[in-house]
């Protein structure tokens, strides 16, 4: 895994890839978030709704998606998930 310092540095250049709106954490949102993590591995999320709960939600999302919460600043959070090695068959 990349170091936390390196991930934070790389995250500075990212624009929010996915937005969490007023609908909250739905199964559809989790599926979309998981797909983005699988493709990009380092993802910046913007909280558009639920701003009062964003600190607790950011930690819960990391657990739900099997990712690491790299940082959470203001209305954005950055997540990292290790690439899954392709299984040869």
The tens digit of pLDDT for each residue in 42-67 reads 999 999 877 788 889 999 999 999 99
State the pLDDT at residue 16. Answer: 93
More confident position, 81 or 50? 81
State the pLDDT at residue 86. Answer: 54
Is 35 inside any structural domain?
A: yes
The CATH number given to whatever domain includes residue 50 is: 3.30.110.60
Q: How many domains does one find in the chain?
A: 1
Taking the C-alpha atoms of residue 19 and residue 75, their distance in angstroms, rounded to an integer, is: 10
Is 21 inside any structural domain?
A: yes
Closest Cα to residue 14, out of 76, 58, 84, 63?
76
Distance linking the first and last C-alpha atoms of the chain: 25
pTM of the model: 0.88
Taking the C-alpha atoms of residue 33 and residue 46, their distance in angstroms, rounded to an integer, is: 12
Q: Which pair of structure tokens corresponds to residue 46?
A: 């913007």
State the pLDDT at residue 88. Answer: 53
State the pLDDT at residue 49. Answer: 74
Phi, psi of 31 (to 5 degrees): -65, -45
State the pLDDT at residue 85. Answer: 65
**Which domain does 66 fall in, by range?**
4-80
Is 28 inside any structural domain?
A: yes
Is 41 inside any structural domain?
A: yes
Q: Is the pLDDT of residue 32 over 70?
A: yes
Q: Is the pLDDT of residue 38 over 80?
A: yes
Is 86 inside any structural domain?
A: no
């Amino acid at each position: 895994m990349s170091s936390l310092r390196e991930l934070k540095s790389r995250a500075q250049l990212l624009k929010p890839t996915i937005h969490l709106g007023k609908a909250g954490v739905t199964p559809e949102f989790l599926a979309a978030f998981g797909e983005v993590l699988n493709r990009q591995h380092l993802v910046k999320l913007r909280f558009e709704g639920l701003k009062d709960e964003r600190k607790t939600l950011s930690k819960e999302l990391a657990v739900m998606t099997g990712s690491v919460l790299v940082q959470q600043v203001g209305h954005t959070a950055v997540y990292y998930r290790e690439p899954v090695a392709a299984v040869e068959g």
